[in-house]
């Protein structure tokens, strides 16, 4: 055969091969379709009412669904036609998503499909790491449906622009009517500009829960004057300088739970917390204070300055020093009719080994002060718990009640504590790790 004939023959064979590939591709598609149909017929889930099958899928869904073929709910799309139809018809499978960065370039397209399947249901979105502006632009297209927004910065390096960088600078200047929960957390002291935070909060008129953990705020901007968060019920701030200037008039008149570190307020304005509570006059029920052993952490005078707080019933202190506890016990020894009349619960987590050390001078200032406070408030007191997070050797230098009956507190005080136990008060001293009440003799 000539060269021309061989070349012609080769071209024809190549064409035949391509044609057969197309036939094979069609057969593979038909096979896959038939297999999915067969799976649907064999699958008992497919024969269930949609209400039951969708409930099964929802119960299989983890708390933090991620985009990816290996994870639910996307995995459900790859089983059979029936499962796909069920999954895409249940918006509740798609209203929550956890996004960890970095992501591949086409991720925003997969995210778009995910959010569309949510069908307008309130969205819970968690963002972790240095966020891609293209992804946040996709998220903000559904801003009217966002109910909870979590932003967790997990790396040691903090971006210069703080929240602006985390949000990608794409946040729309429009109301966020569904947004009720904002949670911003840094792995370390995350530095954020105050302006974008105030902008985010300003557009969320129905905000109920605002948590700012390990986030410090810089910049001269502050919240607008007379800025009122009327629907805010829970506020957590464990960073620094949330409010900035005292010209700021932020208030939350319906606040019920406040968790804070004293350092959240500008060091130059120690009365900021007092001003905030006096402006707000909230029906505060729970107060949690996290001490970080920084300057000013031995000062608890602001607490008394905020009183009387007629509604406060629960107080938690994390890592207080002995001076803080001494101030607290002195406050609790005042008449309940005028100071904290609704007070019922005290929880303290201690790390300072000297708080209840077995030395006479400390026993005088701590055990007896606590005993007098408990005696005065015993009619309403329901819970008193002192936890240590220490591992290995116990935080309390030894057991409060030893095996031979010897005690580390005066017998009359120990009798008072055990009397509280006998009358149903939840009074506890011990480590959180082992859960053993050191007030009781060893079993």
Q: How much is the pLDDT for 404?
A: 41
Q: For the whole prediction, is pTM greater than 0.85? A: no
Could you identify the residue written with the tokens 């920084």? 294
Between helix 368-376 and helix 322-332 the angle, nearest 10°, is 30
Sequence-ordered alpha helix ranges (H) in 43-142? 50-60, 81-88, 107-117, 133-140
The residue among 35, 144, 115 whose CA lies nearest residue 82 is 35
**Choice among 89-93, 100-104, 299-303 with the minimum mean pLDDT:** 299-303
CA distance 32 to 338: 76
H helices of 306-399, where?
322-332, 360-362, 368-376
DSSP bridge partners of 211: 183, 236
pLDDT digits (tens, 9 = 90+) for 276-335: 788 888 999 999 988 865 545 567 777 777 665 789 999 999 888 888 888 899 999 999
**In this structure, are residues 327 and 301 in contact, taking their beta carbons and an 8 Å threshold?**
yes
Strand, coil or helix: what is 137?
helix
Pair 299, 289: CB distance under 8 Å: no
Instruction: Give the tokens for residue 235.
Output: 């506020």
Per-residue pLDDT tens for 333-390?
999 988 899 999 999 887 755 555 544 344 445 778 888 998 999 888 999 988 876 5
Work out whether strand 123-128 and strand 209-218 pair parallel, antiparallel, or are unpaired.
unpaired
Residue-range domains of the chain with CATH: 6-93 (no CATH), 122-284 (3.80.10), 324-443 (no CATH)
Q: What is the mean pLDDT of the chain?
A: 77
Q: What percent of the chain has pLDDT over 70?
A: 72
Per-residue confidence (pLDDT) for residue 362, from 0 to 100: 43
């Amino acid at each position: 055969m000539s060269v021309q004939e061989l070349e012609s023959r080769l071209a024809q064979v190549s064409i035949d091969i391509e044609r057969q590939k197309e036939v094979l591709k069609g057969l593979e598609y038909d096979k896959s379709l038939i297999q999915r149909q067969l799976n649907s017929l064999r699958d008992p889930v497919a024969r269930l009412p949609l209400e039951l099958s969708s409930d099964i899928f929802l119960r299989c869904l983890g708390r933090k669904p991620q985009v990816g073929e290996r994870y639910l709910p996307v995995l459900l799309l790859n089983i059979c036609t029936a499962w796909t139809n069920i999954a895409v018809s249940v918006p509740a499978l798609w209203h929550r998503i956890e996004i960890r960065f970095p992501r591949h370039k086409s991720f925003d397209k997969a995210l778009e499909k995910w959010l569309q399947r949510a069908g307008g249901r309130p969205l819970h979105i968690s963002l972790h790491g240095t966020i891609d502006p293209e992804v946040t632009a996709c998220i903000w297209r559904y801003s009217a449906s966002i109910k909870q927004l979590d932003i967790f910065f997990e790396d040691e390096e903090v971006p210069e622009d703080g929240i602006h960088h985390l949000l990608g600078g794409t946040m729309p200047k429009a109301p966020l009517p569904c947004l009720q929960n904002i949670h911003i957390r840094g792995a370390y002291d995350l530095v954020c500009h105050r302006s974008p935070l105030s902008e985010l909060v300003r557009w969320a008129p129905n905000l109920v829960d605002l948590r700012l953990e390990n986030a410090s705020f810089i910049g001269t901007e502050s919240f607008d004057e007379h800025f009122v968060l009327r629907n805010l019920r829970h506020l957590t701030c464990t960073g620094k300088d949330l409010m900035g200037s005292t010209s700021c008039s932020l208030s939350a008149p319906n606040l019920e739970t406040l968790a804070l570190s004293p350092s959240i307020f500008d060091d130059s304005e120690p009365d900021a917390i007092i001003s905030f509570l006096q402006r707000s006059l909230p029906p505060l029920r729970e107060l949690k204070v996290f001490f970080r052993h920084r300057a000013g952490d031995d000062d608890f005078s602001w607490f008394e300055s905020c009183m009387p707080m007629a509604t406060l019933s629960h107080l938690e202190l994390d890592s207080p020093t002995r001076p803080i506890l001494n101030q607290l016990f002195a406050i609790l020894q005042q008449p309940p009719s005028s100071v904290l009349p609704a007070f019922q619960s005290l929880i303290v987590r201690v790390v300072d080994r000297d708080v209840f050390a077995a030395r006479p001078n400390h026993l005088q200032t701590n055990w007896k002060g606590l005993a007098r406070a408990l005696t005065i408030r015993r009619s309403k007191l329901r819970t008193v718990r002192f936890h240590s997070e220490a591992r290995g050797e116990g935080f309390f230098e030894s057991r409060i009640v030893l095996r031979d009956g010897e005690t580390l507190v005066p017998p009359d005080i120990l009798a008072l504590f055990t009397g509280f136990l006998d009358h149903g008060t939840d009074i506890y001293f011990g480590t959180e790790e082992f859960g053993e009440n050191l007030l009781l003799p060893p079993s």
